[in-house]
Amino acid sequence: MVNQGAPNARTGQPTSYTIENPLKTTSLCGLVENLLHAVIEIGIPIAVLTLVWIGFKFVMAQGNSIELEAQKKNLRYTILGIVIFLASWMIAVVIANTVNSLASGTGINPFVTSCN
């Protein structure tokens, strides 16, 4: 976007400036894709750190049956969360590919542009 500002005092020509898009995308599809990549890049290291922490807690339980049961429960919930996290990413990719394939058949896509 180029706007013209007040005239320059020395030259008398209008001053122009530009505003750059900080998101680096021009479509809704690109925005969603960038958000999903950011979530994946943040979520996977958090999941790995959580698994490491649970492993550490298993070692610290030192045979205490109550603590071991609690850590088994934490491990199950963490793995379930990781599965849900990755499944939601997979569903988003499938939906994007379906929308793109439907749009390419009609030639008109009112919502998003292709995410190739």
**How many structural domains does the chain have?**
1
Q: Which amino acid is at 85?
A: F
Burial of 29 (0-12, 13-18, 19+ CB in 10 A): buried
Q: Residue 12: pLDDT above 70?
A: no
Query: Could you tell me if residue 1 is inside a domain?
Result: no
pLDDT reading at 38 higher than 60: yes
Please determine, for residue 74, whether its predicted confidence score (pLDDT) is greater than 80: yes
Span 13-42, average pLDDT: 80
Give the span between the Cα atoms of 67 and 77, in whole angstroms: 15
Any domain includes 66: yes
Q: What is the chain's percent helix, strand, coil content, to nearest 5? A: 65, 10, 25
Report if residue 2 sits inside a domain. Answer: no
CA 90, CA 95: separation in Å to the nearest integer? 9
- The answer to whether 115 and 25 have CB atoms below 8 angstroms apart is no
Residue 37 lies in a domain: yes
Q: State which residues form the domain around 96.
A: 24-106
